[in-house]
Structure 1
């Protein structure tokens, strides 16, 4: 029994925030699943690093380019293949958990973050392309993305809502899920077919707020705000998914949307490297860990139900932040904009580098 199994006993699932071809083609992911990993998440930055940072994909790129595919089609084909392999490896977890876990997430193009119809169309296309029941399509929690969530859920598509940085966005995401699920059930859809997680990004909140606190000389609050936000979000989740409105859907077999803690690697080296794992343990949640954070938690992380502790202190810390004149909503909006832009840059870089690799690996090219 590993620490990951101990977390599962407390109601928290650990997903792996990483994917690459050698991981899914070797015994790597299978070994992680055996050790307690219960899902996989991906994003454009992860795929950029995987595809252009190794030679694992060279043969596939050469073959796809020879078939006349452009960079965008090649990149999507490679990503879909990796997602399918990971989903197949996680299928036993999906079956054993009756669809609670065992998911792999694939993100729509960041270029569509402010395009509701485009997001819906691309999500449905990717859903069909991967063709696995344990796929989650990642959609950003922008206003356009939130509108798309309801449309996708009501069509039976499981959704991982990403780039949530604040309580207002989280409430809107939960409402979008519930509205879509109610429509799906009213149309005769199977309640257990649909699942969703709301990915709340934590470490980036501290990175942004700590700088503002430094200017105001309030160092005692540094490193506390992200966890305070998470604790309040967790309390909000408990309220939303125990309400009379939700209970009506639950009686029909509906599955509650879980909070997922994302951006859990510690950005400030002065903070413990397991800060955003140890402090965010609670039932009906997911934490997605990149490789270094997972290794650190295995080595010296602490398993204890911490999310339900210190809620009063969390409210006090957020009140103190407001008293200092720091507009948390403005910070959250800025972080979301920066997150969308960062993923867009990674996606563009991926396409550019795949195009360059295609040319380099083409028959007759120098070095091919």
Structure 2
């Protein structure tokens, strides 16, 4: 502390400068939503400079007197993401300045983005769509959640109204799901190792992914197999290791409605496969399998079930041990017996230890 009467410390005042307000960060999905709305609102399209200086999510960081390199890069990434959403973002050249990237305009043709005239949602359906978006929110499908939310909001649906007290979480257990989903969006050929039942080792497959669908609680990939030049359907749970894009290899968009057709084909395959099973009365097998029975003989303790994949079904039946016997078909009975022999051999003591 200075002595009394000595020189007093000077008070340094802050140098006045331009006032800067701290802007809250704009979530990525809000920025994408704002960009979609802006591009839908104009028939002529918007210049990149107009987008960066006016659209929420860019405008807050736009520097009118300096470099906007980071915003440029952000916009390029956002363009790719919007197209991955299935939104038809177009680039329009200026007629009097062909080849000039600075004069390019961006737009989303409203007629191509609107729902077909025959598609209408009831209030209950809109509520369920909102609930579906909440179910996926912040779950293992969070990336897909943001895609769904952006589409719903662009349709005028705000999926935040609570419908029930909680939203269950969906979990994708197959590691191949996300890379295949990305390959579908980008129309990118991929390769992966696939372990087909009956083979001793996985084999590499090179495919054009066409659809990923859920059937009987399992994810299936429908794809064009490049090696055999024919369509094939794969269980994601049998894909071993990484799904890797094939550099420089792309393909045309899959035909419309392919997901529905694949699900219908799997359902038809399931109906063609029927098994007659003898189940022990009062057992776990009777309770669980009995719920799925399409026919039942109470006196004989026999039920009939449909199934899609024989190997998957054989794995399930073998887990019940002596509680279930396969009466037909013979191929399924042999498959279950082989699995039970493997289990028995694994638990049999070696001869030397007896």
Same fold flag (TM > 0.5):
no
Higher share in strand: 2
- TM-score w.r.t. structure 2 length? 0.26
- TM-score w.r.t. structure 1 length? 0.25
* Greater relative contact order (Cα < 8 A, sep 6+): 1
